């Protein structure tokens, strides 16, 4: 940097020696304040002179375009002084038009800095050679063959997404892609682990173009005593205090005899949108689909696509010439989106023969509704609908939760019910159901994006037994979980499912593992709600987060 500064200064000095730099004040050999006063005086004097001359011409009936030599001089002077004033003391403006300004020392330095420090890529300075790359990131050991492939990927000769199919080795493909990415961006991925993941297991199922994996701590809350069984609940999270809080809720539930749950609906949905030439035809299809006499035929067509998918109901909504058809079906131990989609496709093919003027606009028309907050899910349910409840004894509320029954009941009414209503909440009549749902979903290989509707929850609290004890419940109509497919087959997630006793499909009672997982999610949410509400009621929320959710370590000095 200092070398560049000296070089730029020497260039500027040389330029100054060869030709003297002109300044705006050099246009008139007077101080700036006198120059400004001069042009102000000239401008208003000329204006006054021209106004007098025009008035005289008007009185004498002389055409205004007839001008004398003095008039021409006055007009020229007026224009010159006007340019100065418009430029707001604009000697520099006038001078820049007449005489090009030589660059001064500061401008020269700025030009050098911009030229040398400008990034060669939109987001980062690209390394020019392997030596530059070694300075930026820790280079991994690669064989000669891999080096050639890496260079081909960097040069664009081999598409990054095609490495697995070309090499036949998923781990090697990930390593090559990772190194090519580092060379292209000039950024190190040293803190992102590469080893320790079975890349074959994610091929074509979980993730495309992998370069590593992200580590998320898994904590255990529990035991959760639910329906007379104990569960140690795995929670993957980076939020301090979450596992500890849920664990305290589990402790209160356990000490009070446990919680009970009931799964009252089990149906995944998919809702295609079709279009007709008229609204009347759309209504006719709605009547056909919702006619009980046609349900058996439609069920046979739908169910033929899967061993476990079973059509339960069809609900339609007309919007002009468009019809939205919401299919609901059971899906065994799978979460079931692919299963229900196959059944819907079969049914649409069948309906096309019955209604040849029907145009299928999309297999999903958002009336499902997947991964979006929607009243239809809150009212009708999606996935597993569960209610979970417990009676917490008054002395447990005092000793474990550090509050009292009356305070919890009042806070729940003001916060979860009234406060959520004031906010216009949709399915959000709870304290933090999504915290627990997300943590369990990530740990057990569920789709984290479905946390949106799965976290629909209403938390209820009321005093019972003459006000001595607390009845608490959560109603969750849209828990979307599965124990087979997707991320559930990965080693880490499979281990967490095994911990809960719901790994894989239940061959004796298909669907029972997924239903049990849904009730565990609801029971864990019950524990989390109970603990957080108690912390707020007792004024402990900030204190606990300062203790468990803030690190005193200097993370900048911690090696990855």
Q: Which active-site residues does the annotation give?
A: 239, 371, 447, 545
- Is residue 1 classed as helix, strand or coil in its secondary structure? coil
Instruction: Tell me how many degrees the CA angle 150-156-159 measures, rounded to the nearest 5.
Output: 80
Tokens 């929320």 locate to: 541
Task: Provide, for the chain, the percentages of residues in helix, strand and coil under a 3-state DSSP scheme, each rounded to the nearest 5.
Answer: 50, 15, 30
Q: Using CA atoms, how far apart are residues 346 and 8, in angstroms rounded to an integer?
A: 74
Element spanning 225, H or E: strand 218-226
Least Cα distance to 550 among 237, 238, 191 occurs for: 238
Burial (CB count within 10 angstroms: exposed 0-12, middle 13-18, buried 19+), residue 94: middle
Q: What DSSP designation does 556 have?
A: G
Q: How far is CA 222 from CA 1, 258, 459, in A?
A: 59, 11, 20
Q: How many residues does the chain have?
A: 560
CB of 237 closer than 8 Å to CB of 335: no
CB of 274 closer than 8 Å to CB of 284: no
Burial (CB count within 10 angstroms: exposed 0-12, middle 13-18, buried 19+), residue 365: buried
Least Cα distance to 382 among 528, 481, 300, 298 occurs for: 481
Tokens 């035809």 locate to: 281
Q: How far is CA 174 from CA 167, 171, 486, in A?
A: 11, 5, 20
HEC string for 240-304: CCHHHHHHHHHHHHHHCCCEEEEEEEEEEEECCEEECCCHHHHHHHHHHHHCHHHHHHHHHHHHC
Element spanning 428, H or E: strand 428-429
End-to-end CA distance of the chain: 31
CB of 329 closer than 8 Å to CB of 336: yes
Q: Using CA atoms, how far apart are residues 451 and 446, in angstroms rounded to an integer?
A: 9
Beta bridge partners of 226: 229, 259
b/e per residue 366-396 (b: at least 16 CB within 10 A): ebbbbbeebebbbebbbbbbbbbbbbbbbeb
What secondary structure does DSSP assign to 396-427, as a single string?
HHHHTSSS-HHHHHHHHIIIIIIIHHHTT-SS
- Integer-rounded Cα Rg, in Å, for the chain is 38
Q: What DSSP designation does 163 have?
A: H
Q: Using CA atoms, how far apart are residues 153 and 158, in angstroms rounded to an integer?
A: 5
């Amino acid at each position: 940097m200092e070398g560049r500064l000296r070089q730029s200064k020497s260039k500027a000095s040389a330029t100054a020696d060869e030709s003297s730099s002109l300044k705006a004040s050099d246009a008139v050999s007077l101080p700036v304040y006198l120059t400004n006063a001069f042009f102000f005086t000239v401008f208003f004097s000329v204006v006054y002179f021209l106004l007098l001359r025009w008035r005289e011409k008007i009185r004498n009936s002389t055409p205004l375009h007839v001008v004398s030599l003095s008039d021409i001089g006055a007009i020229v002077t007026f224009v010159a002084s006007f340019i100065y004033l418009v430029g707001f003391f604009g000697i520099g403006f006038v001078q820049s038009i007449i005489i090009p300004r030589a660059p001064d020392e500061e401008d020269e330095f700025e030009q050098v800095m911009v030229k040398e420090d400008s990034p060669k890529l939109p987001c980062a300075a690209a390394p020019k050679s392997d030596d530059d790359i070694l300075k930026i990131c820790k280079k991994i050991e690669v064989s000669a063959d891999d080096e050639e492939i890496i260079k081909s990927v960097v040069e664009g000769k081999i598409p990054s997404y095609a490495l697995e199919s070309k090499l036949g080795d998923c781990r090697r493909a990930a390593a090559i892609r990772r190194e090519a990415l580092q060379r292209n961006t000039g950024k190190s991925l040293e803190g992102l682990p590469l080893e320790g993941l079975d890349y074959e297991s994610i091929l074509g199922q979980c993730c495309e173009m992998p370069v590593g994996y992200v580590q998320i701590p898994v904590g255990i809350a529990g035991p959760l005593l639910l329906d007379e069984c104990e569960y140690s609940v795995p929670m993957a999270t980076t939020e301090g205090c979450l596992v500890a809080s849920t664990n305290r809720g589990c402790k209160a539930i356990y000490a009070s005899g446990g919680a009970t749950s009931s799964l009252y609906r089990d149906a995944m949905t998919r809702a295609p949108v079709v279009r007709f030439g008229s609204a009347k035809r759309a209504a006719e299809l709605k009547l056909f689909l919702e006619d009980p006499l046609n349900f058996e035929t439609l069920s046979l067509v739908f169910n033929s696509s899967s061993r476990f998918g079973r059509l339960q109901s069809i609900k339609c909504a007309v919007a002009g010439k468009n019809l939205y058809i919401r299919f609901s079906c059971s899906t065994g131990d799978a979460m079931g989106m692919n299963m229900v989609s196959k059944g819907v496709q079969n049914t649409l093919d069948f309906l096309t023969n019955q209604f040849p003027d029907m145009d299928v606009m999309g297999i999903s028309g958002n009336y499902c509704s997947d991964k979006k907050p929607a009243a239809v899910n809150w009212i009708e349910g999606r996935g597993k609908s569960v209610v979970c409840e417990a009676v917490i004894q008054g002395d447990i509320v005092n000793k474990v939760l550090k509050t009292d029954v009356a305070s919890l009941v009042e806070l729940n009414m003001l916060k979860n019910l009234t406060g959520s209503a004031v906010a216009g909440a949709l399915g959000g009549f709870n304290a933090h159901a999504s915290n627990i749902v997300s943590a369990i979903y990530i740990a057990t290989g569920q789709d984290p994006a479905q946390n949106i509707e799965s976290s629909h929850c209403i938390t209820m609290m009321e005093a019972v037994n003459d006000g001595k004890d607390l009845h608490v419940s959560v109603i969750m109509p849209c828990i979307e979980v599965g124990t087979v497919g997707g991320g559930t087959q990965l080693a880490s997630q499979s281990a967490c499912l095994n911990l809960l006793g719901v790994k894989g499909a239940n061959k004796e009672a298909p669907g029972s593992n997924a239903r049990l997982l849904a009730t565990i999610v609801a029971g864990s949410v019950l524990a989390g709600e109970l603990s957080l509400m108690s912390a707020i009621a007792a004024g402990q929320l900030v204190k606990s987060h300062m203790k468990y959710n803030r690190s005193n370590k200097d993370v900048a000095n911690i090696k990855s």
